Amino acid sequence: MSENIVVPTMAEMLAQGKQPEVLFWVGCAGSFDDRAKKITKAFVKILNRANVSFAVLGAEESCTGDPAKRAGNEFLFQMQAMMNIEVLNAYEAKKIVTACPHCFNTIKNEYPELGGIYEVVHHTQFLKSLLDEGRLSIEGGKFKGKRITFHDPCYLGRANKVYEAPRDLISKLDAELVEMKRSKANGLCCGAGGAQMFKDAEPGDKEINIERTEEALELKPDFIATGCPFCNTMMTDGVKGKNKEGDVKVMDIAEMIANAEDL
């Protein structure tokens, strides 16, 4: 055991007769992808620091079905959805937080009609509410005065109109938030959505993540902030492709906050 993180499962909570304040939906990337696992841990560290009572499903969690649905496989999506809803309802989950905008969108928008009705928030919204309620404070620390640009995840931004929570968090870091020409409702996709993450791109003259990374690099930022594990992968690859990994770091906002707090 390292780093002293405390991550109870819903099953453990139930055994103690407890119901957590919020269920943390980790998602497939957050559970298995090496880069995304760091985001998961960073978020958990902040939850621990703020004494948030939360729990994960652990091995009872399964893919929300988002990539299957966007790929056109409605059967597989609904199978996944209904299995997950059964588990979530069995635990009487009320509020769900997730660091993945795809899980966020699917559970928030597509589960209710299938019987899964929860309050679903993105981790940037949750962190913002912790700040607003005074349960968490952020010092700029190493991000003070740094140039940070935020890449809007499509499924957080355009899909659900969440633009301000991530930006508010960045400004709390005392950083200089610089906007790309295509931001917020006009944000350019990283190229991973719609199940593209899991296939090669169609023939073209450029990769989408390169197009987006170039746009970010024009701003000469110190950091590219993300709020989605898939965007994070795409932007990290883009920065590597441009041989800029020495100058620009791609980080999830949760990682930045954890980092600023030396968690």
Partner 1 sequence: MNYLDNILFAILLILGIGYFTINVKKLIRNIKLGKDIDRSDRKGERWNNMFMIALGQSKMVKRPVAGFLHVIVYVGFIVINIEVLEIVIDGLFGTHRVFSFMGSFYNVLIGSFEILAVLVLVAVVIFFIRRNIIKLKRFVSSDLKGWPKSDGNIILYFEVVLMSLFLLMNATDFHLQNVAGGFMHFHPAGSFPISQYISALFEGVPNGTVYVIERAAWWLHITGILIFLNYLYFSKHLHILLAFPNTYFANLNPLGKFENLEAVTAEVKMMMDPNADPYAAAPADAVPAKFGASDVEDLNWVQLLNAYTCTECGRCTSVCPANITGKKLSPRKIMMDTRDRLEEVGKNIDANKGVFIPDDKTLLNDYITPEELWACTSCNACVEECPVNISPLSIIMDMRQYLVMEQSAAPMPLNAMMTNIENNGAPWQYNQQDRLNWRDEN
Site for partner 1 in 158-217 (CB under 8 A): 158-161, 182, 185-189, 191-208, 210-212
The residues in 22-81 that bind partner 1, with binding defined as CB under 8 A, are 26, 28, 30-33, 37, 40-41, 56-59, 61-63, 65, 67-76, 78-80
Site string for partner 1, 93-132 (x = CB under 8 A): ------------x--xxx--xx------------------
Buried b (16+ CB within 10 A) or exposed e, 111-141: beeeebebebbbbbbbbbebbeeeebebeee
Distances (CA, A) of 96 to 28, 92, 103, 118, 259: 15, 11, 10, 7, 24
Residue (44 or 175) nearer to partner 1, CB = 44
Residue 92 C-beta: closest distance to partner 1, Å = 20
Of 91-99, 120-128, 141-149, 155-163, the window that binds partner 1 (rule: CB under 8 A) is 155-163
19 in contact with partner 1 (CB under 8 A) = no
Structure tokens at 134: 């005074």
Residue closer to partner 1, measured from CB, 65 or 221: 65
- Residue ranges of alpha helices (H) inside 62-140 are 66-70, 74-90, 101-105, 123-132
Number of residues that bind partner 1 (CB under 8 A): 77
**Residue from 181, 113, 127 nearest 149 by CA:** 181
Which residue type occupies 140? G
